[in-house]
Amino acid sequence: MRMIDIIEHKRDGKILTNEEINFFITNYVDGKIPDYQVSALLMAILFRGMSDEEIFNLTNDMLHSGDIIDLSKIKGVKVDKHSTGGVGDKTSLVLGPLVASCGAKLAKMSGRGLGHTGGTLDKMESIPGMQINISEDNFISQVNKIGMAIVGQTGHLVPADKKLYALRDVTGTVDSLPLIASSIMSKKLASGSDSILLDVKVGSGAFMKTLEMGEELAKTMVSIGKYFKKDTRAILTDMDEPLGLAVGNNLEVIEAINTLKGNGPKDLTELCIKAGAIMLLQAKICASFEEGEKLLQSKIENGEAFKKFVEFVEAQGGDITYVLNTSKFEKAKYEISIKSNKSGYITKIDALEIGEFAMKLGAGREKIEDKIDYSAGIILSKKIGDFVNSGDELCKIYTNKENYEEIIKEIKNSFIISENKPENRKIIYKVIS
């Protein structure tokens, strides 16, 4: 078998066999196929697409290119969730303690952020002492003991994806649905959970810009999960404006804490309650979605959800005094109020722009080696649909950088203000199961 033949087959629109896909993945991971040939195949896949069978085979070979985590020693149904990423997305820090306080077992491996703000691991590390690298035995023990753990991915998990993603990133082949779906699902399947909830973000601040694109990706990933006999469901959620109010690492941790105490933003709270109810169905803890919602709400009201967050932080070495007293978190040197210069209803807050401004303030990475400023970011004072008077505060920016004047000038353009009140927005557009 030759790689050139596989490239030509896909170039000509043919369906690749299981043997061809296995040959390509195995030999590329082993370093026997050069990047330039794999780049050609990735571009052919981008233009020609893949059948369901090809996607299943690609996911399977990527999944088995490295370690597969065995979570059989964890008692009960293991649940996991994955977000395709967005601005202000601190959902895991709320959802994990919420479902764990109800008896679910969340065993989650997460990643770092590149661009915008940090990923879940970066947010966790903004809590002094918090460890994201723990042994597999300790990971399993912690989930058995307190019901949850969130850790960094191991270096031997799906090496095929690491190599392919790095190549896609520099060859213009990131925007391929089969490659996106197989990348996400191979990692989730290798993580060992029994069920997976996929949060597919849709809108200006998301990778999938339209509902149609998001739905196609969600259905593909759910079909992969079912093929591998995992209870896989997806929600399509709004990312046309940032989720919640806080954008930035320790700012988002503080907002997650407030949400677990019942004082969180409406959209973040609603998303976590509804997503959590689906996860409780998957964990077979509740018989109905409505029962799950009520149980989760009760755990916020009686303080058990926040208590579980404290246990989680303590178990992974974090200083819980910061969680119990959020005023201890490091504060940025500069705190600047951005005010509206006109009156009207906010009809748009460009999530992508807000995320990019937060990154420029120090809250995210442009390059993988960049150091994150945990205290930097943006807190919105208004959301879409709110009325503002001229002079009212739109948001506050937090930074330790001296040259923030240009951002102040530009950030107002992220808020579109009109005389007409926009229609009420949904945080969840659709559930796919």
C-alpha gyration radius of the chain:
22
Set 61, 80, 161, 238: catalytic member: 161
Respond yes or no: is residue 135 known to be catalytic: no
Residue 214, H or E segment: helix 211-227
Q: What is the DSSP string of 288-332?
A: SHHHHHHHHHHHHHTSHHHHHHHHHHHHTT--HHHHH-GGGS---
Contact assessment for residue 101 and residue 299, using Cβ atoms and an 8 Å cutoff = yes
Respond yes or no: is residue 183 known to be catalytic: yes
Set 10, 81, 82, 163: catalytic member: 82
Set 183, 193, 195, 375: catalytic member: 183
Could you tell me which residues are beta bridge partners of residue 198? Answer: 82, 234
Instruction: At 56, list the tokens.
Output: 């299943």
Strand positions, DSSP E, 158-264: 195-202, 231-238, 246-247
262: CB partners within 8 A, 6+ apart: 300, 301
Distances (CA, A) of 6 to 25, 42, 51, 181: 12, 11, 15, 21
* Ramachandran category for residue 186: left, alpha or beta (phi over 0 → left; psi -120 to 50 → alpha): alpha
Set 123, 187, 230, 299: catalytic member: 187
Respond yes or no: is residue 82 known to be catalytic: yes
Respond yes or no: is residue 116 known to be catalytic: no
| Dihedral of alpha carbons 200, 107, 138, 320, sign | positive
SS3 404: coil
- Give the separation between CA 129 and CA 124, rounded to whole angstroms: 9
From edge to edge, which strands make up the β-sheet containing 415-418? 387-388, 344-349, 415-418
Which single residue is written with the structure tokens 């309650």? 273
Set 81, 90, 163, 168: catalytic member: 168
Instruction: At 420, list the tokens.
Output: 């007409």
Catalytic residues: 82, 161, 168, 183, 187
